[in-house]
Amino acid sequence: MKPRLVECIVFRKKKNIIEFLLLKRIPKKGGFWQPITGGVEETDKSLIEAAYRELKEEANIPKTEIIKVFENIHYFEMNNHYLTREPAPLQKEFVFAFEITPEFIISLDKNIYQEHTKFKWVSFEEALQLLKWEDNKDAFRKLNKILNGAD
């Protein structure tokens, strides 16, 4: 497992309604819903560059479709395997959020790793119901406060 990870919460605004993108992992990798996530690779020059790479890799979202970037949304550490919950080396996860153009079409077929079976756009409330991990839910809550102008 990689010691540094990025989580990318993707959202769009359609007629002033905010929708969040969730991807469903393949059964072998847990079969749960999550935002775009991935490890920071040696070739990534920064955390944000890792996030841009993951957006393109997992959902085929290019930088040109990004309207706004929110950095430092949330940060957490974990020292267990995400599936087995067995002890593992400490990992640090940095959360970013990206508003994309509302008309952009998500595509999972370009991901050479085939990590996800499907995607869906959901409301904030539905995201909280579908997300498996509390750390992911905390990140969504923090972003939701930012988007709604709360501290």
Task: Express each pLDDT in 38-76 by its tens digit.
Answer: 999 999 999 999 999 999 999 999 999 999 999 999 988
Mean pLDDT check: name the lowest of 24-28, 75-79, 137-141. Answer: 75-79
Reply yes or no on whether the pLDDT at 1 is more than 60: no
Task: Express each pLDDT in 98-139 by its tens digit.
Answer: 999 999 999 998 887 788 999 999 999 999 999 999 999 999
Q: What DSSP string describes 36-49?
A: EEEEPPTT-SSHHH
User: What average pLDDT does range 9-29 have in this prediction?
Assistant: 95
Fold held by 4-147: Nucleoside Triphosphate Pyrophosphohydrolase (3.90.79)
Tokens representing 102 are 């509302």
C-alpha 151/C-alpha 76 separation (Å) is: 19
The domain locations on the chain are 4-147
In this predicted model, which residue has the larger pLDDT, 15 or 2?
Answer: 15
Quick one: which of 49, 48, 57, 66 has its CA closest to 10? 66
C-alpha 77/C-alpha 42 separation (Å) is: 20
C-alpha 122/C-alpha 49 separation (Å) is: 26
